[in-house]
Chain A
Amino acid sequence: MTPPRPGQVIAPDQAPPDSAAGSTHEDDLRIVGTPFRRVDGWAKVTGQTRFADDMTFPRMIHMRLVRSTLPHAFIQSIDTSKAEEMAGVVGVLTGKDMPEPFGILPVSQDEHALCLEKVRFVGDPVVAVAALTEDQAADACSAVKIEYEPLTTISSVDEALETHEPLIHDYGDEGNLHKKISLQFGAVEDGFAEADEILEDVMFYEGSTHLPMEQHAAVAVPEGGGRITLYTSTQTPHYVHKVLAQVLGMPASRVRVIACSVGGGFGGKSDIFNHEIAVAKMALVTGRPVKICLNREEVFYCHRGRHPVLMHLRTGFTKDGAMVAQHLKTALDGGAYGSYGVASTYYTGALQTVTYGLPRYRFDSIRAFTNKPPCGPKRGHATVQPRFALEVHLDKAAQRLGIDPADLRLNNLLPPDSITANYLKVGSIGLGACIQAVVDGSGWRERFQSLPHGRGLGLACGSYLTGAGLPIHWNHLPQSAVQLKLDRTGTVAAYCGEAEIGQGSDSVLAACVAEVLGIGLDDVLLCVGDTGLTPVDLGSYSSRVTLMVGRAAIQAAERARDRLAEAVAEKLDVPADRLVFAESRVFDSGSPENGMPFAEAVQQAEEKFGALATTGSYAPPRAPGRYRGSGVGPSPTYSYSACVIEVEVDPETGLYRVEHVWIAHDIGRAINPVLTIGQVEGSVYMGLGEAMMEEQVFRRLPKSRSSALVHKVPSMLEYKSPTFHEMPPVTTYLIEDPDPEGPFGAKEVGQGPLLPVIPALANAIFDAVGVRIDQVPIGPHMIRKALEDKEAGGDGRYGPKSFPDIDFGVPLMVPTPDEGGDGRATNTEEAGVRKGSGTMTDGVRKGSKP
């Protein structure tokens, strides 16, 4: 079979079967698509929701961590003797008590619950102390004496490239580089040769953190029979469960993880953290329930936020604005540990191809280890940084080619059902409708380039996954599952491993079940995020929950409906296919009065079949890529967004104010339009924060006097995140074109709408005052500098000057579908794909059993 070419419409027999359960109901949906109250809303606004820090147990003690005060050092000695004698102290742990390494990715098992031999950043935990009260634990922490042998501080990608000794880790692709990638899809140089214009840019995207309202907290409770339960603030109870069992050396069947309601995650609670493991170990050692709640500074040290990324982007365009070839280079400052970093590295290149036609593409990347808190996934993961670069780059291309930036994009949209040059299979694409909506809404055609000096409009687009196509631990198991238990009261209990992090996943689960069974949201009882009681869902990351949990829930509910229908059909003596489930009744569509309440239908079925329970599960379709690295990027379907921002800039000071945001999001179908719009607005807010002011930055003290490298502003006062004074009015458009892969046609909304916001601001500033700010966050001083530069005859740009000179070696060559490729690389040997680390989809390493 010849693989489809980019832009080629996939024939129906190759397309995913139109099996998205619920699609047969589209005409008469009762809950899905209507604005309904979130099912957990009442408990949240009345203070009944129990967050991890609300959990309390008899005999519970409190734990604190002693953290490193040096950025990079060997631990010479740890003296806990004085702490152990202090009032109230019950237990003390050091790294030796938990020597097993761990990490969220099988290929980056580089963390320890407490540092063993060395510390790698200021804030790395070394000792855990538990006492009767938190005050006593804190006092005892102050009495712990740790002696260090300092090592060279590595504070940036440049320093990591220059420093061959010492190594922050004894693994990685090269020196202090954790990861080094070079991928080439098609004859890129031929593409550049065909170009009418070649544009080159160097851009920088500063790191930022998630800043959840809720600080991380966990409570571990030893149970009878050698079991332990961990209540924790996590997005990924399944992964916490796996790693906890691995490090504690216990059978997974003896470990239970319960994800409490999360007060904000945004990706920052998708790793397993040191404190979660240490608190569990402490509970096992002391035989008492143990709680830890991090303070705000410690949350900044947990981090796993947005990677600072330096980017070099070179693109060939035809004079019509079509891209013929692109070469993207990215350099990620990874911080001290692997975390999701290997995936992040690939993600800085993976989704460049899914919005506009791009026939040939080369992507080179490095991720460096530095002595800072580890970076990881933050809303949009690592696709946000290259999206910023691409969309500003396109704005410049439009300017140079004399094409309206909206038209440049509209004219070059990737067609639906394409396979991209890097072998991502996209489904429905609502991007054109998104662009049209924000162009119309903002008055773009009349106002762009026509506003008074100081006032400007900027447009940008974005796209994101609706769930990662591959699990973190490679296997063929379902990635989400739902079990339903129907009881005689008519209540349907839904069991699912999903984790409600505020995004509304509980409401999606309840809505899908209630919709199919024709019952009310109140009739669905949820039991979620409990590895002891619920079937596995991989967690709230990669925007996967609505699609995957939704599909599993619909399958389980349809199976239940079939059972009920069979029993009711027999009782009413009507064909099962004439039965309707609605209004908490089951009745004959031919004569609606002929029916019974839902509870009675359950009783009928229970009489006929015995106790009633059904299951549903979901695994994404297999992606076409077969090359090393192709595991990052595939998704069942992609969401699309477009954004226009209007900004007012004071050219004398560089201060600016965002006046309005118009944003359109291709949602497929909104399960709940109110929650959906909330997610869009939340993304606008977070995106503006990154565009305008948020930065996780560090102070390197003068090298002649100190080796210190400290987080500059680990507090909510000085880490600047917008208040609602800075939040402009937002107009949101939901573009609904149901996607066959989604539950009732739904795609993701939790992350995608963030992406276009950041470049839209940079582009708006250009329209306002005619200068290019090629880095974020955009400070007023940058605008002033650029204006001063322009006044002095310069090019009126503020941003990084160059990308480091890195030898990426021979890239892994993957012929594109257009070139007749089959998704495989042609030079795996020659490209010298490195051993040692590799990709997520690598073979199974220690601790990566499914």
Chain B
Amino acid sequence: MMRLPVFRLHQPESLSDAMALLASSDGETRLVAGGTDLWPNMKRRHQSADVVVSLNRVAELSGIRGEVGGEVRIGATTTLAAVAASPIVRAAYPALARAVESISSPAIRNMATLGGNLCLDTRCTYYNQTEEWRTSIDFCLKEGGTICWVAPQSPRCWAVSSSDAAPVLCALGARVRLLSPAGEREVSVADFYRDDGIDYLTKQPDEVLTEVVLPPSDGVQMSFWKLRRRGSIDFAVLTAAVAVRRDDDGVVSEAAVWLGAVASAPVRSEAAEAVLVGNALTPEVITEAATATRKVATPLDNTDFTLQWRSKMVVHYVEAALREVAGLERERLAPNHAM
């Protein structure tokens, strides 16, 4: 079987102990929560560590606080299963519940955490392979090599942001709290990411993601659509997360349209938002807004499905999500029996 390399594992029970371990450890140090991303990556040797600090036993990092209609705070190590099952999340942020519930499989969701999903390593079919396989292609830019095999002329890495929670949280205007020895700060989830397959987080190495802060959901309507091959297990090859606020006449006052899994970070479509704001959610407006997303997404050939077809699906998925928000009839076939 695939074996983990040797490393030192710490399992502190308080955040302060965790911070101290993080500050004092020698060599390459990584944080782990559910381990559903890091452990397979370490088995395949594309992530390594001398020291791993587990946050799983830090009770204060887990749990959901707040109530429907108010600000809601979700601890970073709250499992995806717990987030998806939370009555607060389901009532106030149904798109988040749907996104989280769609991640991987039930067994994985029982271990994986919301913070872990936000920090999920970017993915690429040239990268998420064993060391032997990567030796066969002489490695790639993201790990050990000099070329991005997806775009050999490119100076950058195009690995894909594959978090399903991220685009929804971006659309909802959520923030994350980051704790470091220097203090604490909050950044928007949108600013938590950088469109670079290697250096994809703005988080500093000594910072710990402690909490996700969701603004009150009053009056916000939202939806999340996800494209992938199968009704379970698979990472997304495209997600569309939308959130709108409408006034009493049904005219959109605020809109957020975000795409996931089409770049190294979640992608916002300001053009689509501009079409929506000031208009009622008619089928025509929705189609126009969806069409406006065509230019922002430039997926590359490093996930499942063919590239050109994935690009074309962006418009369809944004349209489907917006139609759902508007209460219009579903036109698109969900690709499997799951949704």
Contacts and interface: CB of A to CB of B under 8 A. Distances in A.
B338 interface: yes
Nearest to B312: A784
A647 B129 CA distance: 35
B211 to A, nearest CB: 30
A527 interface: no
Interface stretch (A503-511, A614-622, A700-708, A826-834): A700-708
B338 to A, nearest CB: 4
A293 interface: yes
Contacts of B133: 122, 297, 710-711, 714
A708 B137 contact: yes
B338 A725 contact: yes
A718 B152 CA distance: 23
Contact of B231 (A135, A723, A780): A723
Contacts of B333: 648-650, 653, 655-657
Given A69-B132, A722-B230, A726-B230, A653 B137 contact: no
B229 A653 contact: no
Contacts of B8: none
Contacts of A69: 132, 135-136
A712 B125 CA distance: 8
A725 B230 contact: yes
Size class of the contact patch on chain A: 35 or more
A712 B306 CA distance: 13
Contacts of A654: 309
B22 to A, nearest CB: 28
B243 to A, nearest CB: 23
A713 B127 CA distance: 11
Interface string A648-670: 11101111110000000000000
A67 B135 CA distance: 11
Interface string A265-300: 000000000000000000000000000010111000
Interface in A685-715: 693, 699, 701-702, 705-706, 708, 710-715
Contacts of B309: 654, 779-781, 784
B304 A726 contact: no
B233 A723 contact: yes
Contacts of B147: 705
A711 B229 CA distance: 19
Contacts, number: 105
Nearest to A650: B333
B182 interface: no
B24 interface: no
Nearest to A711: B133
Nearest to A133: B3
B332 A122 contact: no
Contact of A708 (B130, B138, B152, B308): B138
A233 B332 CA distance: 45
A715 B333 CA distance: 28
A720 B304 contact: yes
A307 B231 CA distance: 28
Q: Chain A CB within 10 Å — which of B128, B136, B308, B316 has the most? A: B136
B149 interface: yes
Contact of B149 (A296, A701, A725): A701
Interface string A283-321: 000000000010111000000000000000000000000
A736 interface: no
B204 interface: no
Contacts of A92: none
Given A705-B147, A708-B138, A720-B229, A725 B305 contact: no
Interface in A60-87: 67, 69-71
Given A701-B149, A705-B147, A710-B136, A725 B231 contact: yes
Contacts of B331: 652
Contacts of A706: 137-138
A295 B44 CA distance: 12
Contacts of A43: none
Nearest to B310: A781
B52 to A, nearest CB: 17
A213 B314 CA distance: 35
Contacts of A649: 333
A404 interface: no
B137 A701 contact: yes
B336 interface: yes
A236 B7 CA distance: 42
Which residue of A67, A138, A653, A654 has the most chain B CB atoms within 10 A of its CB atom? A653
Interface of B: 1-3, 125-126, 128-130, 132-133, 135-138, 147, 149, 152, 229-234, 304-306, 308-309, 312-313, 316, 331-338
15 contacts: A295-B2, A648-B333, A650-B333, A652-B316, A655-B335, A657-B333, A657-B336, A693-B230, A701-B137, A710-B137, A714-B129, A717-B128, A725-B230, A779-B305, A781-B308
Given A135-B3, A708-B138, A723-B230, 13 more contacts: A70-B136, A138-B3, A295-B2, A296-B2, A648-B333, A649-B333, A657-B333, A657-B336, A701-B149, A706-B138, A714-B129, A714-B133, A720-B234
